[in-house]
């Protein structure tokens, strides 16, 4: 048995897949904000709908996950999202490995059109590869044994931050990684959508790993300088790095050819993350000024 927590406002095809792959004794908790959310009426009887209320001092998703964990009854908890397509056996695989090692995660790759194509390769190399190496867990597909971590501290921290999965990564060790089933997550490629995403991702990196983020920023600036002096070498080297990362994850996407310009934008990516005053996520605007200092500006 496992307790699966699915934060969502609406019932989606991906949520239907979760229901279809439940085992007989699994518990599915669909967590929304209020009784007015469409999912309250649309969720099937197999799911238990839980209302978390409006978030105060944290993201809506973090608030939903904390509320779901308070209602969950099993030792093994699974976090998942409403926009991930999966095959049969994904849940059994995660839960089995979580029981054996304490935590198990899937690996996301954020893909999209428009402006996002320019940022995708850098995210694959710097973000996705980090999850694939076991350094982080992904909140869209992670299972863990709640008895092996300080749950009360985790719940308290969830209710004062935005980076739910990065936070969970600091609470778990010995993570098993499912690198055989990389999950494409389609993102908004519009300028506004890209800004909001890189602001959130950049702030998560800066607040949770300030030293590593500073080092990455310095390295990315050095790369820009090297490009000015040896442009062909920089272009070839970065493209080969991108091809290697995509190949390791068994990704076949033409965006890998944009690895060179994508790397050149890494300093901007990080700068926006630190400097952006606000960003939107899930219908809300947030002002995130420190790791545990979040203001919900509007809903």
Helix H, strand E, coil C: the string for 63-94 is HHHHHHHHHCCCCEEEEECCCCCCCCCHHHHH
Close Cβ partners of 200 (under 8 Å, ≥ 6 residues apart): 162, 273, 279, 281, 288
Spans of the chain, pLDDT less than 50 = none
What DSSP state is assigned to residue 171?
T
What is the per-residue pLDDT for 299? 67
At 272 the pLDDT is: 87
User: Which pLDDT tens digit goes with each residue over 103-126?
Assistant: 999 999 999 999 999 999 999 999
pLDDT in tens, 35-62: 999 999 999 999 999 999 999 999 999 9
Residue entry with tokens 């599915």: 28
How many distinct structural domains can be found in the chain? 1
Is this prediction's pTM over 0.85?
yes
Task: Say if 296 falls within a structural domain.
Answer: no
Domain housing 270:
3-290
Q: Which residues pair with 79 in a beta bridge?
A: 5, 142
Q: Is residue 88 part of a domain?
A: yes
Q: In the chain, which ranges are continuous DSSP H helix?
A: 13-20, 39-42, 60-71, 90-101, 116-123, 129-132, 151-158, 164-169, 191-208, 210-229, 231-248, 259-264, 266-275
The answer to whether position 295 is within a domain reads no
| CATH code of residue 102 | 3.90.550.10
pLDDT at residue 273 in the model: 86
Angle at which helices 266-275 and 210-229 pack, to 10 degrees?
Answer: 140
Residue 157: the pLDDT is 98
In a domain, 299, yes or no: no
């Amino acid at each position: 048995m496992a307790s699966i927590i699915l934060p969502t406002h609406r019932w989606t095809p991906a949520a239907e897949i979760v229901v279809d792959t439940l085992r007989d004794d699994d518990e599915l908790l669909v967590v929304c904000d209020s009784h007015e959310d469409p999912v309250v009426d649309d969720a099937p009887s197999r799911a238990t709908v839980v209302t978390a209320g409006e978030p105060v001092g944290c993201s809506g998703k973090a608030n939903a996950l904390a509320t779901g964990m308070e209602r969950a009854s099993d030792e093994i908890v699974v976090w998942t999202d409403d926009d991930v397509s999966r095959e049969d056996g994904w849940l059994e695989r995660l839960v089995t490995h979580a029981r054996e090692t304490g935590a198990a995660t899937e690996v996301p790759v954020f893909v999209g059109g428009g402006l996002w194509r320019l940022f995708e390769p850098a995210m694959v190399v710097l973000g996705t590869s980090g999850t694939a190496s076991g350094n982080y867990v992904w909140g869209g597909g992670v299972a863990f044994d709640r008895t092996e971590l300080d749950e009360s501290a985790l719940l308290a921290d969830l209710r004062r931050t935005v980076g739910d999965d990065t936070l969970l990564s600091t609470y778990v060790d010995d993570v098993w990684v499912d690198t055989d089933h990389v999950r494409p997550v389609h993102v908004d490629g519009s300028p506004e959508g890209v800004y909001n995403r890189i602001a959130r991702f950049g702030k998560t990196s800066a607040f949770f790993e300030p030293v590593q983020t500073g080092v990455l920023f310095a390295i990315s600036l050095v790369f820009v300088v090297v490009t000015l002096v040896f442009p062909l070498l920089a272009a070839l080297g970065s493209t080969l790095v991108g091809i290697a990362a995509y190949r390791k994850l068994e990704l076949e996407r033409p965006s890998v050819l944009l690895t060179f310009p994508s790397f050149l934008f890494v300093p901007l990516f990080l700068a926006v993350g630190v400097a952006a005053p606000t960003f939107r996520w899930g219908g809300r605007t947030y002002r995130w000024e420190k790791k545990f200092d979040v203001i919900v500006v509007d809903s």
